[in-house]
Protein backbone atom coordinates (compact mmCIF):
# COMPACT_ATOMS: atom_id res chain seq x y z
CA UNK A 1 0.00 0.00 0.00
CA UNK A 2 1.46 3.37 -0.99
CA UNK A 3 2.22 5.82 1.80
CA UNK A 4 2.60 9.57 2.03
CA UNK A 5 2.64 11.46 -1.24
CA UNK A 6 2.81 8.16 -3.13
CA UNK A 7 -0.72 7.36 -1.89
CA UNK A 8 -2.22 10.13 -4.02
CA UNK A 9 -2.90 9.94 -7.76
CA UNK A 10 -1.89 13.62 -7.81
CA UNK A 11 1.74 12.46 -7.65
CA UNK A 12 1.67 9.74 -10.32
CA UNK A 13 4.01 11.99 -12.33
CA UNK A 14 6.65 11.59 -9.58
CA UNK A 15 8.83 8.55 -10.30
CA UNK A 16 10.89 8.66 -7.13
CA UNK A 17 12.21 10.86 -4.37
CA UNK A 18 16.00 11.00 -4.36
CA UNK A 19 17.41 12.44 -1.17
CA UNK A 20 20.68 12.77 0.69
CA UNK A 21 21.10 14.42 4.07
CA UNK A 22 24.86 13.91 3.67
CA UNK A 23 25.32 15.86 0.42
CA UNK A 24 26.83 18.80 2.29
CA UNK A 25 30.14 20.63 2.61
CA UNK A 26 31.14 17.71 4.83
CA UNK A 27 31.01 15.45 1.76
CA UNK A 28 33.13 17.93 -0.17
CA UNK A 29 35.68 17.87 2.65
CA UNK A 30 35.58 14.06 2.86
CA UNK A 31 36.19 13.66 -0.88
CA UNK A 32 38.76 16.45 -1.18
CA UNK A 33 42.50 15.98 -1.26
CA UNK A 34 43.00 18.57 1.50
CA UNK A 35 46.20 17.49 3.32
CA UNK A 36 45.35 19.31 6.57
CA UNK A 37 46.11 16.77 9.35
CA UNK A 38 43.73 18.53 11.75
CA UNK A 39 40.47 17.53 10.00
CA UNK A 40 38.45 15.00 11.98
CA UNK A 41 35.34 13.06 10.96
CA UNK A 42 32.65 11.41 13.04
CA UNK A 43 30.31 9.18 11.04
CA UNK A 44 27.15 7.40 12.10
CA UNK A 45 26.38 4.37 9.96
CA UNK A 46 23.52 1.88 9.70
CA UNK A 47 23.78 -1.26 11.81
CA UNK A 48 21.33 -3.97 10.71
CA UNK A 49 22.36 -6.21 13.63
CA UNK A 50 21.44 -3.75 16.40
CA UNK A 51 19.40 -0.63 17.14
CA UNK A 52 22.65 1.09 18.10
CA UNK A 53 24.33 2.54 14.98
CA UNK A 54 28.01 2.16 14.15
CA UNK A 55 29.98 5.26 15.10
CA UNK A 56 33.46 5.96 13.81
CA UNK A 57 35.85 8.79 14.56
CA UNK A 58 38.88 9.30 12.37
CA UNK A 59 41.36 11.79 10.99
CA UNK A 60 40.87 12.73 7.35
CA UNK A 61 43.81 10.54 6.33
CA UNK A 62 42.03 7.48 7.80
CA UNK A 63 38.46 8.34 6.80
CA UNK A 64 36.72 7.05 3.67
CA UNK A 65 33.40 8.00 2.14
CA UNK A 66 32.09 7.63 -1.41
CA UNK A 67 30.19 10.16 -3.50
CA UNK A 68 27.04 8.01 -3.24
CA UNK A 69 27.37 7.33 0.51
CA UNK A 70 24.15 8.46 2.20
CA UNK A 71 22.00 8.61 -0.95
CA UNK A 72 18.42 7.37 -0.49
CA UNK A 73 15.94 6.59 -3.28
CA UNK A 74 12.24 6.10 -2.57
CA UNK A 75 10.42 4.73 -5.62
CA UNK A 76 6.78 5.59 -6.25
CA UNK A 77 4.85 2.34 -6.89
CA UNK A 78 2.04 4.33 -8.53
CA UNK A 79 4.30 6.30 -10.91
CA UNK A 80 3.29 6.56 -14.55
CA UNK A 81 6.95 6.37 -15.56
CA UNK A 82 8.89 4.25 -13.08
CA UNK A 83 12.56 4.90 -12.39
CA UNK A 84 14.76 1.90 -13.19
CA UNK A 85 16.09 0.57 -9.88
CA UNK A 86 19.41 -0.41 -11.49
CA UNK A 87 20.29 3.25 -12.12
CA UNK A 88 21.07 3.80 -8.44
CA UNK A 89 21.85 0.23 -7.42
CA UNK A 90 25.11 0.55 -5.47
CA UNK A 91 26.46 -0.73 -2.16
CA UNK A 92 26.37 2.82 -0.75
CA UNK A 93 22.75 3.61 -1.77
CA UNK A 94 19.54 2.83 0.12
CA UNK A 95 16.48 2.10 -2.05
CA UNK A 96 12.87 1.46 -1.13
CA UNK A 97 10.28 0.15 -3.59
CA UNK A 98 7.17 -1.99 -3.77
CA UNK A 99 7.57 -5.46 -5.28
CA UNK A 100 4.49 -6.75 -7.10
CA UNK A 101 6.09 -10.20 -7.08
CA UNK A 102 6.51 -10.26 -3.28
CA UNK A 103 3.44 -8.11 -2.62
CA UNK A 104 5.50 -6.16 -0.12
CA UNK A 105 7.98 -3.31 0.23
CA UNK A 106 11.64 -4.07 -0.47
CA UNK A 107 14.42 -2.18 1.27
CA UNK A 108 17.88 -2.39 -0.27
CA UNK A 109 19.73 -1.66 2.92
CA UNK A 110 22.99 -2.82 4.46
CA UNK A 111 25.16 -2.37 7.50
CA UNK A 112 27.54 0.53 6.98
CA UNK A 113 25.28 2.92 5.04
CA UNK A 114 26.09 6.51 6.00
CA UNK A 115 23.34 8.15 8.04
CA UNK A 116 25.12 11.21 9.41
CA UNK A 117 28.59 12.73 9.44
CA UNK A 118 30.21 15.58 11.32
CA UNK A 119 33.46 17.31 10.39
CA UNK A 120 35.72 19.23 12.76
CA UNK A 121 38.88 21.14 12.02
CA UNK A 122 41.19 21.68 14.98
CA UNK A 123 42.72 25.13 15.03
CA UNK A 124 45.95 25.74 16.91
CA UNK A 125 46.73 29.28 17.98
CA UNK A 126 50.01 30.80 18.92
CA UNK A 127 50.68 31.83 22.54
CA UNK A 128 52.47 35.06 23.41
CA UNK A 129 55.73 33.13 23.89
CA UNK A 130 55.57 31.81 20.32
CA UNK A 131 54.61 28.22 21.18
CA UNK A 132 51.41 26.55 20.15
CA UNK A 133 48.47 26.50 22.50
CA UNK A 134 45.84 23.81 21.94
Task: Name the pTM for this structure.
Answer: 0.83
Q: Is 73 in contact with 94 (CB distance < 8 Å)?
A: yes
Classified as helix, coil or strand, 1 is coil
The pLDDT, as a whole number, for residue 52 is: 97
Task: Please write the tens of the pLDDT for every residue from 6-49.
Answer: 888 889 999 999 999 999 999 999 999 998 999 999 999 999 99
pLDDT confidence band for 125 (50 / 70 / 90): confident
| Burial of 8 (C-beta count, 10 Å sphere; 0-12/13-18/19+) | exposed
Q: pLDDT tens for residues 75-101?
A: 999 999 999 999 999 999 999 999 999
Amino acid sequence: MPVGIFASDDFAWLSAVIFSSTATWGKVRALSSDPNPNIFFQAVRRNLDDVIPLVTKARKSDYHESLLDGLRVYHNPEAIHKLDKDIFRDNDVFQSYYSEEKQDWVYEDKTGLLLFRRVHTAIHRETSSGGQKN
